[in-house]
Structure formats: C-alpha cells, structure tokens
C-alpha cells in the first residue's frame, strides 16, 4: 500500500512536470501552424511553386538586375557586368556621392543619344540587398527576410518586383553608347510578373535546392 502511494505520488509529479514544461512554450516556439503553412495548404502545388520560383529567379539573376545589386561599393555595368567606369561609388544612400551622383549622368529615361540608361529612381540597392555572387536560393532568402529587405512584407515585395519602374526597366534597357540594344532578361515581362505573383500567392516557398 505504501509502495503504491509512493508510485502514485511520483507519477502525479511527473505529469505535473510535463504539463508545466509543455505550457511554457507557445505555438510560435516550435509548433507548425498547419492552417497557414503553405507546404500543407490544400491549394499548394510544390511543382507549380518551384516552376514559378525558377522563372522569377531567372530574371532576378540576370545582369540587368544584378548590376545594380552589387556586393561592393561600385556598381556593375554592361553585358559583361564590369565595374562601372571610373569606379563611381554607391554613396551613403545608393545614389552616388555629394558632387557626383547617379543623376549626374542618368536621368528618368534611357538616353539614345549618349547610350546612358535611365529610369525613375535610378540608384543602387542597399548593400544588405547585394545579390552579386549569391545563389538564387540565397538571393530569395535575403529578399524575403524583412530584416534585410527594408522591412517589406510579401505583398510589398510583390508590388516592388512587378510594378516598380526601375525593376521593369529591365525590359526596356535601351541601347549602349555604340547603339547596340542591351540584353533583356530571358523571360518575357508578362510571364515574369505572373510568375512572381503566383509564387508569392503560393506562399513564397523557397526550394531547398
């Protein structure tokens, strides 16, 4: 009888311990929110998401995008993504230096006379948004990380990628100084926009490979 009482007491304390430890964690700590988990959502199609992701990233990895997402202080330019002539610098705000800014040469439109490209808000992406030298997985992870994307939500990113004039300039890149047309991204603009929207609507799932 005494033995059973001790056993009962031990089991009681054990159960209380388990309940106490368990209740100290919230759902956010480790439980997956099944309702909002894109991987288990009823409409989620992994192949569809991956295809949209790949199409989008084929554009974002293109030189028309990466040239202005450099990893250093100097922009890239041209079809071979060489360092910008004269080592022009990004400056504190990504718009050049006090007396030599992007707008010293670049305006709001391409200039077919000089071959200098232009679009509204011509500037560099901040250093924390550097894409140069990164894989598409790394670029996407960084792009969707609100700590490294300027606090943008998924919806903000979707609008930026599909509506911003500087982003869409990639499909209207004008001609270079010799009059040769600059290369456009390998995916048509409409298909790219559709892919971005689809990927984000499907939960913005970044594939592991």
The answer to whether 49 and 41 are in contact (CB under 8 A) is no
Complex with another protein: residue 30 or 86, whichever CB lies closer: 86
Point out which span in 18-26, 59-67, 86-94, 152-160 binds another protein (CB under 8 A): 86-94
The answer to whether 182 and 176 are in contact (CB under 8 A) is yes
Shortest Cβ 106–another protein spacing (Å):
8
Shortest Cβ 28–another protein spacing (Å):
47
How many positions of this chain bind another protein (CB under 8 A)?
24
Shortest Cβ 85–another protein spacing (Å):
6
Shortest Cβ 111–another protein spacing (Å):
5
Q: Which of 12, 37, 71, 103 is in the footprint of another protein by CB under 8 A? A: 103
The answer to whether 117 and 180 are in contact (CB under 8 A) is no
Confirm or reject binding of residue 85 to another protein (CB under 8 A).
yes
Confirm or reject binding of residue 30 to another protein (CB under 8 A).
no
Complex with another protein: residue 114 or 198, whichever CB lies closer: 114
Confirm or reject binding of residue 105 to another protein (CB under 8 A).
yes
Q: Which of 197, 120, 202, 205 is nearest to 159 (CA)?
A: 197
Q: Which of 45, 79, 92, 108 is in the footprint of another protein by CB under 8 A? A: 108
Q: Which of 104, 141, 146, 180 is in the footprint of another protein by CB under 8 A? A: 104
Find the radius of gyration of the CA atoms of the chain.
25
Residues 109-148 close enough to bind another protein by CB under 8 A: 109, 111-116
Q: Which of 41, 50, 78, 89 is in the footprint of another protein by CB under 8 A? A: 89
The answer to whether 140 and 53 are in contact (CB under 8 A) is yes
Which residues would be at the binding site for another protein (CB under 8 A)?
85-89, 97-101, 103-109, 111-116, 177
């Amino acid at each position: 009888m005494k033995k059973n009482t001790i056993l009962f007491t031990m089991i009681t304390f054990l159960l209380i311990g388990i309940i106490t430890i368990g209740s100290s964690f919230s759902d956010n700590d480790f439980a997956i929110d099944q309702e909002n988990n894109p991987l288990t959502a009823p409409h989620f199609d992994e192949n569809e998401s991956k295809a949209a992701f790949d199409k989008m990233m084929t554009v974002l990895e293109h030189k028309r995008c990466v040239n202005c997402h450099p990893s250093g202080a100097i922009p890239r330019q041209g079809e071979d993504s060489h360092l910008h002539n004269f080592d022009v610098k990004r400056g504190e705000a990504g718009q050049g230096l006090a007396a030599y800014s992007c707008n010293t040469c670049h305006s709001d439109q391409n200039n077919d006379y000089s071959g200098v490209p232009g679009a509204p808000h011509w500037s560099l992406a901040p250093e924390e948004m550097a894409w140069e030298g990164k894989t598409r997985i790394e670029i996407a992870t960084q792009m969707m990380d609100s700590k490294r994307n300027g606090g943008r939500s998924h919806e903000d990113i979707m609008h930026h990628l599909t509506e911003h004039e500087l982003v869409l300039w990639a499909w209207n890149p004008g001609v270079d100084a010799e009059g040769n047309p600059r290369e456009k991204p390998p995916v048509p603009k409409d298909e790219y926009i559709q892919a971005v929207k689809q990927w984000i609507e499907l939960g913005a799932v970044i594939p592991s490979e």
